[in-house]
Structure 1
């Protein structure tokens, strides 16, 4: 009887050990923003980021210590500045990337040059393509990275906080009177963003309306005449640094040459820290809050309706 009990105990223990071993070696799979399935044999331990927003997302997902390489301008959080550089979004050091022996490379589908991506594929290292377009995509990317890195606890918490912040903004501004908005990416040539870009989603969140939402491609070139014809109530652009400028940036100030433009007549020329509004990361909630506040300022500057 004792012998049978001992055998049963051994079989039970073996079953548990096998189960744990099976879990430990189970493949990890997620779907990236290119629609491809990315599969790893185990959580990634050596990761290379090929976009500044990706670096920030990996830190937020709890994988900062796994980063062995990053591209230029990967500057947040501050410790990201110490990560070895492997190029920028247009030119990559493939030899250095290979020498770092990564088990996962996270790339920016829109920002990294196509020729460079093809060369990366030849290394036969798993690639995860990141290209968030909607506000909710930031949280989804965090959870996917958490799965690939084995840091789901941290990643899920960061995603939950971000979702909560965005939900609060949506609840607060969803029913505000709409404001027509021109978002200026660059001034020479004059460039903007269409409705599929993340920034356009932020504008909508805040009760704004992107006047060039229907244009193609993602970052279309427009004429000064087109902006004047659209006559936006507010004009936004991204600034460098977290301190809000005391006066409009030169690329915005030039619009004062057209005093009849609604945004100029009402002094609705706004600049937001580019790192908070252009990068699809958890800090986007901060940039969205600023844009929402600025749109409220624009609403407050509307002429009083005549009785």
Structure 2
């Protein structure tokens, strides 16, 4: 190993920990799909030697060796890849696996993306880690500009329609105030009808009907025909304002619930749905 490769520095991660990391990481394992996306977006994918299950964007990421899901990491598979850095997410990755990696002298840097601002902070942090600070700054500047323009348009809209955002099918699960999906709905000029202290509240069908959403958005970790089936079931309830006005939509969950560079795209999609009269004006 060259002296340059062996150089290290101490950084503070988004979990508030001091971590000694390589000055020029060469073998990185991304411990969440969102981290994988960020690394690819920064054009630093040559450093990646492993990723987690469902790290499928961009398509090239699907070819990386997999080390389990982000909530069930496989320690042996990670160590077998010989990483000099793992990039984790504070909420989701199991603390015991992170601790064991650190005991094996494999540094683990944690990001903590809980909002649009902290997603952008995570991008900047990963850019700094991978010597891609300029690319990260440019990406974040673009995201900030798009978010700001959409928020400005939304703030001037004549109405804020009630939105029910369904992320779970059986039971019906929505998103409360302590989630970045709530922030996206509100930033796009909607009213989140599931707002409240519970991050992911459950609802009966009767409760959703009582909320009378003007817009119903369906997204789920499940794939394929399930999306369309759920939409068809809702379309049978003609007294629902969203159904009556044909404002039931299916969106790609990865664009919305994966905290990475595509969140600005997700916000734009929501804005176009919530305020079609202003679509594309940002």
String of CA shifts for 1:175-201, please: whole Å, max 9, x gaps: 222111111001101111111212111
- In the alignment, which residue of structure 2 is the partner of 1:6? none
Q: CA RMSD in A?
A: 2.9
Pairwise mapping of residues 115-264 of structure 1 onto structure 2 (< 5 A)? Answer: 116-176=97-157, 177-216=159-198, 218-238=199-219, 249-264=228-243
The answer to whether the 8 Å contact 2:166/2:220 transfers is no
Pairwise mapping of residues 43-58 of structure 1 onto structure 2 (< 5 A)? Answer: 43-58=24-39
* Equivalent of 2:251 in 272, 286, 291: 272
- In the alignment, which residue of structure 2 is the partner of 1:14? none
TM-score by length of 2: 0.86
Q: Secondary structure at the match of 2:23?
A: coil
Aligned-pair distance for 1:117? 4.3
String of CA shifts for 1:10-40, please: whole Å, max 9, x gaps: xxxxxxxxxxx9xx957241331x3333332
Aligned-pair distance for 1:257? 3.7
String of CA shifts for 1:34-90, please: whole Å, max 9, x gaps: 333333252322111111111001122342111111011212222212211111224
String of CA shifts for 1:246-291, please: whole Å, max 9, x gaps: xx72212222343222222222111112221121111121121111
Task: Tell me if 1:286 matches 2:265.
Answer: yes
Distance in 1 separating the partners of 2:42 and 2:255: 18
String of CA shifts for 1:70-119, please: whole Å, max 9, x gaps: 01121222221221111122432211211222122122333334554454
The answer to whether the 8 Å contact 2:166/2:174 transfers is yes
TM-score by length of 1: 0.79
* Greater Rg over alpha carbons, structure: 1
Distance in 2 separating the partners of 1:93 and 1:43: 25
Distance 1:260 1:80, change over 3 A: same
Distance in 2 separating the partners of 1:29 and 1:197: 27
Unaligned stretches of 5+ residues in structure 1: 1-20, 301-307
Q: Secondary structure at the match of 1:187?
A: coil
Distance in 2 separating the partners of 1:298 and 1:219: 30
Distance 1:180 1:31, change over 3 A: same
